[in-house]
């Protein structure tokens, strides 16, 4: 097994350093799982993911002309949830997904300044260096504007 294969079994995403921005590479057995893991990666970019509890649930939907744009739209819906409700996603479940539509259930909680040190304010998911690969295993890469 290669070191890349080992990473797939131990961690569903990695945070990437990028000049003036932040990014993630997320993996999954399916593209839906990789998208769900990208949601965790988004939260890990902003704060310590382990400090986020699953206290509340939100359903989100996204539509876009293709899978790449769908990933950006999905993650930007989660940025919107944080910006408007302070909601941090601990875990996401993709309930429905095709090439242009996604519906997900997101588990998490509202940010609590006593437990959540928001170290990066993500403004948006971008198209810069965007990658969506079906796999198997599936892999996505996205850069966030912070």
Predicted confidence at residue 19, as pLDDT, reads 60
Q: pLDDT tens digits for 87-124?
A: 999 999 999 999 999 999 999 999 998 999 998 889 99
Predicted confidence at residue 104, as pLDDT, reads 98
Q: pLDDT tens digits for 60-93?
A: 999 999 999 999 999 999 999 999 999 999 999 9
Q: Residue 34 domain-assigned?
A: no
Q: Residue 22 domain-assigned?
A: no
Predicted confidence at residue 21, as pLDDT, reads 80
Distances (CA, A) of 23 to 7, 54, 75, 76: 17, 24, 12, 14
Q: Residue 128 domain-assigned?
A: no
Number of domains in the chain: 1
Give dist(CA 131, CA 137) in Å, integer.
14
Q: pTM of whole model > 0.85? A: yes
**φ, ψ (nearest 5 deg) of residue 142:** -145, 145
Q: Residue 81 domain-assigned?
A: yes
Please give the residue range of the domain that contains residue 92: 49-119
Q: pLDDT tens digits for 115-125?
A: 999 988 899 99
CATH at 102: 3.55.10.10
Q: Residue 60 domain-assigned?
A: yes
Q: Residue 39 domain-assigned?
A: no
Indicate the average pLDDT of the chain: 90
């Amino acid at each position: 097994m290669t070191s890349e294969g080992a990473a797939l079994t131990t961690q569903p995403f990695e945070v990437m350093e990028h000049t003036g921005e932040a990014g993630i590479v997320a993996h999954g057995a399916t593209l839906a799982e990789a998208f769900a893991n990208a949601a965790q990666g988004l939260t890990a970019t902003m704060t310590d993911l382990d400090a986020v509890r699953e206290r509340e649930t939100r359903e989100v939907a996204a539509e876009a002309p293709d899978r790449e744009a769908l990933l950006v739209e999905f993650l930007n819906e989660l940025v919107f949830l944080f910006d408007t409700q302070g909601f941090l996603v601990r875990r996401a479940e993709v309930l429905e997904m095709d090439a242009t539509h996604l519906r997900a259930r997101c588990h998490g909680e509202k940010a609590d300044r006593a437990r959540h040190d928001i170290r990066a304010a993500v403004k948006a998911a971008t198209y810069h260096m965007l990658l969506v690969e079906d796999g198997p295993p599936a892999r996505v890469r996205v850069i966030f504007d912070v």
